[in-house]
């Protein structure tokens, strides 16, 4: 494990110039191939029929900020809980995470590369 991590970090000489932000942070060029790009998207969550569409958005490497104001006002709480549990299960399978932002927003991350911290 230590040997493997050593390949991701490289030691620089005092006067050596860095060619990229990754190198500035101490990552080797080899590590750059592991990078993924993500998009943050605001999404209006107004019905349970959108759960499958939300999953597709997450599979497309999108971090979603769900505005749940409409669905909170227009749906039975037990149905909403089932929809949220479906999303939580999907996120667990893919290494993603979910957190609440205030009273009406949720943030969802697609995989283990992006985590939510308290």
Q: Are residues 19 and 47 in the same domain?
A: no
Interval 46-75: pLDDT, tens: 999 999 999 999 999 999 999 999 999 998
b/e 53-86 (16+ beta carbons within 10 angstroms → b): ebbebbeeebbbebbbeebeeeeeeeebeebbee
C-alpha span between 114 and 105 (Å, rounded): 18
Q: Which domain holds residue 28?
A: 2-32
pLDDT surpassing 90 at residue 23: no
- Provide mean pLDDT across the span 3-23: 55
Q: Is residue 118 part of a domain?
A: no
Total domains in the fold of the chain:
2
Residues facing residue 43 across a β-bridge:
66
User: 17 versus 64: which is more confidently predicted?
Assistant: 64
Interval 68-118: pLDDT, tens: 999 999 989 899 999 999 999 999 999 999 999 999 999 999 988 888 887
Per-residue pLDDT at 44: 96
C-alpha span between 58 and 90 (Å, rounded): 10
Q: Which two tokens stand for residue 95?
A: 């290494």
The model's pTM? 0.68
List the CATH number of the domain containing 54.
Answer: 3.30.110.150
Nearest alpha-carbon partner for 113 in 40, 56, 35, 42: 35
Per-residue pLDDT at 92: 94
């Amino acid at each position: 494990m230590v040997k493997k991590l050593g390949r991701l970090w490289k030691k620089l000489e005092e006067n050596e110039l860095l060619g990229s932000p990754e190198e500035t942070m101490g990552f080797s060029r080899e590590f750059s191939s592991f990078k993924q790009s993500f998009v943050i998207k605001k999404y209006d969550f107004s019905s349970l029929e959108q759960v499958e569409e939300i999953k597709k958005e997450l599979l497309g490497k999108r971090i979603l900020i769900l505005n749940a104001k409409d669905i909170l006002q227009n749906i039975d709480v037990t149905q909403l809980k089932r929809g949220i549990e479906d999303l939580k299960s999907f996120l667990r399978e893919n290494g993603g995470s979910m957190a609440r932002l205030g009273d009406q927003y949720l943030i969802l991350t697609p995989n283990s590369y992006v985590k939510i911290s308290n």
